[in-house]
Structure 1
Amino acid sequence: MKNILGINLIVLKSAPVFAKIAIVIYWFAALQYLYATMGGIFPHKIIREPVSTPAIPVAAIIGIGLILYAFGALKLFLAFKLSARKNWARIAVVIVSTLLAVFLIQGVIITVIIGPLPFFALLKGTYGLFAEVVAALLLLLPKSRGWFVPKRVSA
Structure 2
Amino acid sequence: MGANLGINSIALKNGPVFVKIAIVIYWVASLQYLCVTIGGIFIMSEPISKPAIPFGAIIGVAEILITFGALKLFLAFKLLKRKNWARIVVVIVSALLAAFLIQGAINVTMATQHVFFDILKHNYGLFAEIVAASLLLLPQSRGWFEPKGTSA
Residue aligning to 2:62: 65
Q: TM-score, normalised by structure 2?
A: 0.90
Does 2:141 match 1:119?
A: no
Q: Offset at 1:113? A: 1.6
Aligned to 1:43: 43
1:43 Cα deviation after fit? 2.2
Residue 28 of structure 1 aligns to which amino acid in structure 2?
Answer: V
Deviation sequence 1:1-26 (CA, Å, 0-9, x none) = 53364411111111100000000000
- For residues 10-66 of structure 1, the C-alpha deviation after alignment (integer angstroms, 9 at most, x for no partner) is 1111110000000000000000000110111102995857x6xx7322111101001
Structure 2: runs of 5 or more not aligned: none
Counterparts in 2 of 1:15 and 1:152: CA distance versus 1, 3 Å:
same
Residue of 73, 76, 83 corresponding to 1:76: 73
Partner of 1:3, secondary structure, is: helix
Counterpart Cα distance in 2 of 1:45 and 1:73: 21
1:101 aligns with 2:98: yes
Report the equivalent of 1:13.
Answer: 13
Q: Tell me the SS of whatever aligns to 2:15.
A: coil
Match of 1:81, as an amino acid? K
TM-score, structure 1 normalization: 0.88
Instruction: Give 1:130's match in structure 2, choosing from 107, 127, 141.
Output: 127
Partner amino acid, structure 1, of 2:137: L
Using a 3 Å threshold, how does the CA distance of structure 1 residues 5 and 63 change in structure 2: closer, same or farther?
A: farther
Q: Whose helix proportion is higher, 1 or 2? A: 2
Q: What displacement does 1:120 show?
A: 2.7
- Equivalent pairs counted in the alignment come to 151
| Residue 2 (1) aligns with residue 19 (2) | no
Cα RMSD for the two superposed structures:
2.3
Change (3 A) 1:93 1:43: same
What CA distance in whole angstroms lies between the structure 2 residues aligned with 1:71 and 1:145?
25
Q: Whole-Å Cα distance in 2 between the matches of residues 136 and 22 of structure 1?
A: 7
